[in-house]
A and B are shown apart, each in its own frame.
Chain A
Amino acid sequence: MEKEQPEQSNRRDFLLRFGAFGALILAFGGFARHLLVYFTPKKQVVKTHKYLVAKVDEIPLGKAKEITIHGKPVFVVHLENGFKVFSGVCTHLGCIVKWEENNDRFYCPCHKGIFDRTGQVVGGPPPRALDEFKVAIDKNLVFIEVTDKMKGPWT
C-alpha cells in the first residue's frame, strides 16, 4: 500500500484546500437550496373576473341571500350603506355558517360562533370576522371579484 505522507502545510496549500472545500460546501449548499425551494409553491399572479351575485332590488334592506360559488356557500347581505358578500366558511374551524333571518345573524353550529350581518364576530370562538369578497355595484347589479383558476385541480 502506498503511504501518503502528510506534507508540510504551507500557506498556499492551506489556501488551496480551504478554497476547494469552501467551494465544495457552497456548491452542495446551492444544490440543497434548490431542492428545498422545490417544496415551496410559486406565487402566482392571479387575475380576477367579475361575477354577478344579485340584483340590487332583489334583496330587501337588512336581508341576505345565499348562493354557491365553486361549491362553497356565499352570503350576499343588503346593508344600509351598500352590499357585503361573505364567504359562508366559519373563520374558526371551517364549518359552514347559517344565516338566521329572525335572529339577524350568522350562526356556526359547530362551536356556536356568532357573526352579525356585517360579518363581525359577536360571540363564540371565531378569531376574526367572516371573509369578504370585494363588491362592485354596477347600476342594478351586484358583482364580486372572483379569482381565475387554472383548468385542472391546481389552484
Chain B
Amino acid sequence: MEQIKIQQWLIGIFSVLLIVTLMIVATFEVKKTMKYAAEIDVDKSTAQCINCHEIEHIAVTQIAAWEKSEHAVMGIGCLECHSAEADDFDAQRCPESDVLIARHPTPKDCAECHEDQVNEFANSKHAHQFWLLKNADRSILEMPIGTKHGCEQCHNITTIWPDGSVGECDVCHAKHSFSMEVARQPETCGECHMGPDHPHIEIYNESKHGNIFKALGGDWDMGYNTTKNEPIPIEAPVCVTCHMDGNEKQPMTHNVSARLATESQATWSYRTVWDEENLGSWEVKRDRMESICMSCHAPDFVETYLLTADLVNLQYNEMRRTFVYWTKKLTAAGIIDRLEADGKFFSNPVLNGWDEVPEKMMYYSWHHEGRRFRHGAEMMGADFTQWHGIWELQHNLVEMITWAAEHGDKEAHKWVNNNHPSKFVPFALYDIPGNAWGISTMVNTTPFVYSYEDYWDRVKSNVETAYNNGVLSEDQWELWMKRYENLDHYLGVKYKDNPEVKEAWNMYKERDAIDTKAFIKEAVNLKLPGKPFGAK
C-alpha cells in the first residue's frame, strides 16, 4: 500500500511540474525570421508600362529599382511622374502604345509631393548659376565638347528647365529606387565634390568621421528618417548629416546653404550673405551648423574648432592679397598681360589668363590650393590644409616672386636675395593660442614668428579688427580673448618646465641624437671605394 501512496505523490509532483512547464511554454516567444512589410500593388497604367518595357527590353532594371522604392509601396507608379500634356517640352509618344509620356520629369514634377524639398533646393547655392555667370574667362581653355561630359555634367545640378524649375533631383536621389541609402552615401556627394579644386570626399575619407563610417557604417541603417526632430541615429556623420539632416533642434533641409557661414570656395573668403532674408545672417547659419556638431561634440570644442577654421579663411585672404599685389604690379609693368578681344579685356582681372607663370600661380592659389587649405581646415582634412594647402600656396608665392625677379622686377630681386626667414611671411597673420584638441606643451617652441616679442599683440590687433568688421562674432572674439588672456596655459608654456614634461622631452631628444648619429654613420659618412662611372 505504501507504493500506491508514493505513486500518488509522484502523480502530484509531476502534475505540478507539467503545469509549471506549460506556463513556461505559454510565455516562450519564438524569434521571427520574417516581418510584415508593405506589399506592392501595381496599378493598371503602371502594369501596362512595365509589360511593354519588358517585352521591348527597354530600361528594365529601372522597373526592378522602382519596385524596391518607397514610391512603389505608396502607389506612385510611372505616370505619376512621367505624365505629360501634348505641348510639354518633353512630351513623347511611346512608339508601341501611343501613350503620351514625359521624357524628363523635372523638379516641378517632384514638387507635386516634395514641394518643400524642391523649394529648399532651389534656394540653396546648389542651384546657383554662378558657374555660368562667372565662367566666360575659363571657357576659353575648355572646348564645348570637353565641357558636355565635363564641367556641365556636375554643374547641371543647376539646370533651369523649360518649365522654369531648377535642378535635378536624381543627381543625388538616383532613379528609380530613390534610395535614402544611396542619397546619403558620401560617394554620392563625392561624384562632384572631389578632385584638385575641392577634394571634399578625399577630405572626408581622411577625417575621423569618414574613417569611422568606413569601419562601422556597414552596419548602420542609412535609410533613417530625419524629419521628425529626433536624435541623429548614427555614430559618425556622413556629408549630409551635417549639411542637411535634422536633429532634435534643427529641421532637416535640402538647402545646403542654410548652415554655411563662410564662402570659402570664392576667390576671397567672406561671410555668407546668400538669401539673408530667409536664411538669416552668417551667424544664424553658423548656429545651425553648431547645433548639429553639438549632437556629438561639446560646445567649447565645436566653437574653438570652427573659430580656428575661420581664422584659416581669413589668413587665406592675406595670402591672396600678396598674390594680387604681385599680379597687379607685373601687369602694370607690362611684364604679364591680359587677354583682349574686340578691343576689350576678355578676362576677369584676377584670373588674367593662363599663359604666364604668375597668372597660373594666381589661379591655382585660389581655385585649387586656396580651397584645399580652407576646406581641409573646415572638415578635418589635416593633410589638405597642410601639404595640399598652405605648403603649395607658399610654394606658388615663391615661384611667382622668383619668376618676377627673373623677369626684371627689382623688388622681387631684392626679395630673392633677402636671407632673413621673415621673407616668407610678407603678410599679416592670424592665429589662436593653442588648439581645440588639448594642451600641447612643446609645439610653441618651434615657429619662427613666435620669437617676435609682439607677435601675439600683432595677432590680437588683427583678430580684433576682423571682429570689429563683423567677420568674427562677439562670441568668437570672447573665446579668442579668453585664450589670449590665458596664453601661457593654452600655449602650454606654463607647463613646459614641468619635470615630467622635461623628462619626456629629453628622452626623445636623446633618441633623436642617436638617430642622427646613426644616419650620419650609415649614410652621410659612408664612402665607397669603387669609382663613379664616367667616360671610359
- Interface size counted on chain B using CB atoms at 8 A: 33
Taking the closest CB of chain A, its distance from the CB of B38, in whole angstroms, is: 4
In the bound assembly, the distance between CA atoms of A150 and B13 in angstroms comes to 43
Q: Beyond A23-B16, A34-B26, A44-B36, is A49–B41 a contact (Cβ under 8 Å)? A: no
Taking the closest CB of chain B, its distance from the CB of A11, in whole angstroms, is: 14
Q: Beyond A16-B9, A24-B15, is A51–B22 a contact (Cβ under 8 Å)? A: no
Partner of B74, one of A7, A26, A52, A140: A52
With a cutoff of 8 Å between Cβ atoms, the chain A residues found around residue B12 in the complex are: 16, 19-20, 23-24
20 A-B pairs whose Cβ atoms sit less than 8 Å apart in the complex: A13-B5, A16-B5, A23-B16, A23-B19, A24-B15, A27-B14, A27-B16, A27-B18, A31-B18, A49-B73, A52-B74, A52-B76, A68-B43, A69-B41, A138-B113, A149-B37, A149-B39, A150-B34, A150-B35, A151-B37
Q: CB of A50 within 8 A of chain B?
A: yes
In the bound assembly, the distance between CA atoms of A141 and B71 in angstroms comes to 14
Number of A-B contacts (CB under 8 A): 94
With a cutoff of 8 Å between Cβ atoms, the chain B residues found around residue A70 in the complex are: 39, 41
With a cutoff of 8 Å between Cβ atoms, the chain B residues found around residue A7 in the complex are: 1
Partner of A150, one of B25, B37, B43, B113: B37
Residue interface bits A9-51, CB-to-B below 8 A is 1, else 0: 0000100110111011011001101100000000010110111
Partner of B112, one of A5, A13, A24, A140: A140
Are the CB atoms of B36 and A148 closer together than 8 Å? yes
Are the CB atoms of B41 and A51 closer together than 8 Å? yes
Are the CB atoms of B43 and A143 closer together than 8 Å? no
Are the CB atoms of B43 and A67 closer together than 8 Å? yes
Taking the closest CB of chain A, its distance from the CB of B17, in whole angstroms, is: 8
Q: CB of B341 within 8 A of chain A?
A: no
- Within 34-81 of B, Cβ neighbours of A (below 8 Å) are at 34-39, 41, 43-44, 73-76, 80
With a cutoff of 8 Å between Cβ atoms, the chain B residues found around residue A26 in the complex are: 15, 19
Are the CB atoms of A52 and B75 closer together than 8 Å? yes
B35 to A, closest residue via Cβ: A150
A69 to B, closest residue via Cβ: B41
A24 to B, closest residue via Cβ: B15
Are the CB atoms of B75 and A20 closer together than 8 Å? no
In the bound assembly, the distance between CA atoms of A120 and B175 in angstroms comes to 43
Q: CB of B11 within 8 A of chain A?
A: yes
Q: CB of A53 within 8 A of chain B?
A: yes
Q: CB of B8 within 8 A of chain A?
A: yes
With a cutoff of 8 Å between Cβ atoms, the chain A residues found around residue B80 in the complex are: 52
With a cutoff of 8 Å between Cβ atoms, the chain B residues found around residue A30 in the complex are: 18-19, 22-23
In the bound assembly, the distance between CA atoms of A140 and B109 in angstroms comes to 12
Q: CB of B115 within 8 A of chain A?
A: yes
Q: CB of B4 within 8 A of chain A?
A: yes
Are the CB atoms of B37 and A27 closer together than 8 Å? no
Taking the closest CB of chain A, its distance from the CB of B39, in whole angstroms, is: 4
Are the CB atoms of A31 and B8 closer together than 8 Å? no
Taking the closest CB of chain B, its distance from the CB of A3, in whole angstroms, is: 11
Partner of A27, one of B19, B39, B74: B19
Taking the closest CB of chain A, its distance from the CB of B12, in whole angstroms, is: 4
**Size bracket, chain A contacts:** 35 or more
**For the complex of A and B, 10 pairs with smallest distance between CB atoms:** A23-B15, A20-B12, A27-B15, A52-B75, A27-B18, A149-B39, A49-B38, A51-B75, A20-B8, A30-B22
A7 to B, closest residue via Cβ: B1
Taking the closest CB of chain B, its distance from the CB of A108, in whole angstroms, is: 23
- Within 94-133 of B, Cβ neighbours of A (below 8 Å) are at 112-113, 115
Residue interface bits A130-155, CB-to-B below 8 A is 1, else 0: 00000000111101001011111000
With a cutoff of 8 Å between Cβ atoms, the chain A residues found around residue B74 in the complex are: 49-52, 143
Q: Which residues of A contact B (CB under 8 A)?
A: 4-5, 7, 13, 16-17, 19-21, 23-24, 26-27, 30-31, 33-34, 44, 46-47, 49-53, 67-70, 138-141, 143, 146, 148-152
Besides the known contacts A21-B11, A68-B41, 16 further A-B residue pairs in the complex with CB atoms under 8 A apart:
A4-B4, A16-B9, A20-B9, A20-B11, A24-B11, A26-B19, A30-B18, A30-B23, A31-B18, A34-B22, A47-B36, A49-B74, A50-B74, A138-B113, A148-B38, A150-B35
Taking the closest CB of chain A, its distance from the CB of B114, in whole angstroms, is: 11
With a cutoff of 8 Å between Cβ atoms, the chain A residues found around residue B1 in the complex are: 4-5, 7
With a cutoff of 8 Å between Cβ atoms, the chain B residues found around residue A24 in the complex are: 11-12, 15
In the bound assembly, the distance between CA atoms of A49 and B72 in angstroms comes to 11
In the bound assembly, the distance between CA atoms of A150 and B37 in angstroms comes to 6
Are the CB atoms of B39 and A148 closer together than 8 Å? yes
Q: Beyond A150-B36, A151-B34, is A16–B8 a contact (Cβ under 8 Å)? A: yes
Taking the closest CB of chain A, its distance from the CB of B119, in whole angstroms, is: 13
In the bound assembly, the distance between CA atoms of A18 and B8 in angstroms comes to 10
B1 to A, closest residue via Cβ: A7
In the bound assembly, the distance between CA atoms of A67 and B23 in angstroms comes to 49
In the bound assembly, the distance between CA atoms of A46 and B41 in angstroms comes to 17
Are the CB atoms of A17 and B34 closer together than 8 Å? no
With a cutoff of 8 Å between Cβ atoms, the chain B residues found around residue A23 in the complex are: 11-12, 15-16, 19
In the bound assembly, the distance between CA atoms of A33 and B12 in angstroms comes to 19
With a cutoff of 8 Å between Cβ atoms, the chain A residues found around residue B44 in the complex are: 67-68
With a cutoff of 8 Å between Cβ atoms, the chain B residues found around residue A141 in the complex are: 112-113
Taking the closest CB of chain A, its distance from the CB of B345, in whole angstroms, is: 51
Taking the closest CB of chain B, its distance from the CB of A140, in whole angstroms, is: 6
With a cutoff of 8 Å between Cβ atoms, the chain A residues found around residue B34 in the complex are: 150-152
In the bound assembly, the distance between CA atoms of A50 and B15 in angstroms comes to 52
Residue interface bits B257-275, CB-to-A below 8 A is 1, else 0: 0000000000000000000
A23 to B, closest residue via Cβ: B15
Are the CB atoms of B115 and A139 closer together than 8 Å? yes
With a cutoff of 8 Å between Cβ atoms, the chain B residues found around residue A5 in the complex are: 1
Taking the closest CB of chain B, its distance from the CB of A41, in whole angstroms, is: 14
In the bound assembly, the distance between CA atoms of A30 and B23 in angstroms comes to 9
Taking the closest CB of chain B, its distance from the CB of A99, in whole angstroms, is: 16
A49 to B, closest residue via Cβ: B38
Taking the closest CB of chain B, its distance from the CB of A152, in whole angstroms, is: 8
In the bound assembly, the distance between CA atoms of A63 and B405 in angstroms comes to 85
With a cutoff of 8 Å between Cβ atoms, the chain B residues found around residue A19 in the complex are: 12
